[in-house]
Structure 1
Amino acid sequence: MRKSVLLFILLLFAVSLSAQSLATKVFGINIPQGFVLESISSKGFQSSGINHPANMNSMNPAALYAFESLSAGFSYQWDYYKMPNWYANIEHRRIHNVYPQSVGLVMPFNNVRLGLGFSQRYNSEVDYGMIIGTMVDPDVPDGYIETGVINPIKNVRVFSYAGNLSYAIKPFASRKNTISVGFQGNYNTLYINHTMYSDDKTIYQKTENSTDNIGWKAGILYDRAGRIQIGLFYEKNSFFDDEYIIDELVGEIHEKVPDKMIFGLTCSLNQNISLSTEIAKVYRSNKEDLYFLSDSYDISFGISGDVGERITCSLGFLSMPYLHENIQDTDLRLYGQYLLGGINLRFDHFDVDCTIVTNTMQAGEWRKQITGKMILGYYL
């Protein structure tokens, strides 16, 4: 056990140093809590290694080797924002709609795994509040302009559809080792909805637009007898680069889900208790962007333990720093530091997975929130 703990510490230190050399420049969708915590489950915040089939869309594509039978799952996620105000009393919140947070299906064929998945990668509603504006009355000649109170609301969602292919080299070098590799392609659609309400809450104007792009990820995972798992994958996302039209006004869409390089390590201390950690380099920065965003390192730690044969409980910590640089000579540190708690209940052919995440005491500015997620899984 001492060797396993030592390896755990050394690899964590090594990857934190090597990640400093990674660099790229990108634009970014600029409201941080619009990004959904896709990878949370009773395993903590874990995407580089083995997760739940419902989270197939957000995990290391090489980790599908762990599902040895037909596996499926879906999840719902709820968010409560304690401080939803953004700037100038502009409120931001997650859209609670009928769509699930994620759906995943894994099909095994000997050493090959095929996966299909769906997830909401970004989900945001910005409410600008009641403001005084000018409205053109089409029923009055000569374009009569009426001044009144309007309430503009902007909804933005990114839906992602994924196909996954992975292959396990088993055994590798010895009967205790497994190395798996995987590739995933993503088709992403960005939906933008602009709705303008008048002061009596009736819809004055509503416009919907959408655009799409293609992304991919590739990864590798090493497993030593189920006691040590080391995962690494890179995620590449293309720009949403398009135009949208509101009446006769043309706007530009130039947004991007950030690229990521993610390393993770899980170490079993004994048959019942395991530790995990993950470091993600998130590429957000581009000095030509209107919003000056800095790259960041998302770091998570977790501990999980089995309570009998059918129950697993976990505790974890997640740090997601996010910085807007030099906006009106002010650096806005919109960080999030989350505490996670989870439980997984297993039955003969299905499981129930529940997770609670809170950063109401460890968040900067307006990122204070509580998130709940429930996953249902089925295994043939």
Structure 2
Amino acid sequence: MTQHNHVVEEKPPLIWLNVAIFSLTALVAIIGVPVYGWFHGYGWEHLIWFLVTYSFCNLSITAGYHRLWSHKAYQAHAWVRVIFAIGGAFALQNSALHWSSDHRPHHKFVDNNEKDPYSAKRGFWYSHIGWMLRNYNQDRYSDYSNCRDLQKDKVVMWQHKYYVPLAIVTNVGIPLLLGVIYGDIVGMLLVVGVLRLVLSHHSTFFINSLAHIWGSQPYTTKNTARDNGILAIFTFGEGYHNFHHIFEGDYRNGVRWWQYDPTKWLIKLMSICGLASHLRVTPNFRIEKARALAKLNQAKDKLQERPNCQYIVSRLQAEYDQLVTNMGDYYEMKKQLLENKKQKLTKKYELSVAKLECQQMKRRLQEQKMRWNELVAQYA
């Protein structure tokens, strides 16, 4: 009799606290919230405070945990950091130190199944929530060595030390207080406590999962990250994930003025009010170059399916090289013009001539971009 030995991969042990929190809160949100609403009803106060607390939690994650602490995209006043630390505990997504120590390897080793803590290539369930249900990363948190800079931040370390009491006080205390004020403790616990928590959790988790599956790749095709305007609505601007993965240090995710990114607007507003500084912005030349390269790579990938495509690939490459050269010349000229205007070292007549030349170069560049877009559209 032949015996077949099957090697079964052992999964890490379950983290029962996480399993309990995610399961129980989801059940209460799906069953308890609508049942209570059917029998007792909800008022405008429930909706208003749900929106206020939901926004507070999510912005504490996006503007605080993510862009401030994980990526150092700007610097913030101490009181702003304290508010974000409290909001992060309210969001119940672990301490800022722990959260950042997860997120930095995700960028450094994106899509690497061994080193990316929530690699999208391990499937939707794993990247969305599965990685938090089992102890896949038990060796990752011994010393937080990838966050030594954050260990020098007194607010981060205060929140890390007192994370559990902060989480309990905010998640239980705030809904209870609102319940006492409005005379509906159960209703506020359900809406502001549980429903807010579940939606805050999963809207954040969708960036790790859905934003690596659904959307476009206008800036890079080297990883699975996608830009998705619909996700941006529910995630306070984090849906522009393709841009973020190539320019992670930029304080903006929605780089276009019309893209919905309230986190970007909040950071900019704080800088105007003197509560934030050193906002990091990616130069336009690098952004435009990345967009052109992404289109080139997409066209090349499509052309691989065609026979005798080497001539077209060579033509596309030559057009791309010329476009990048002209973009570099234009942005250098624009930079020099602004510098001369700022220092007032150039004569007014010479300055007007330089400005006219810059405008003419901009028009030529725009025409070249249109030709480039039409050309790659034939193949991408």
Using CA pairs below 8 Å that are at least 6 residues apart, which structure has the higher relative contact order? 1
TM-score greater than 0.5 by the shorter chain: no
TM-score w.r.t. the length of structure 1 is 0.24
The structure that is helix-richer by fraction is 2
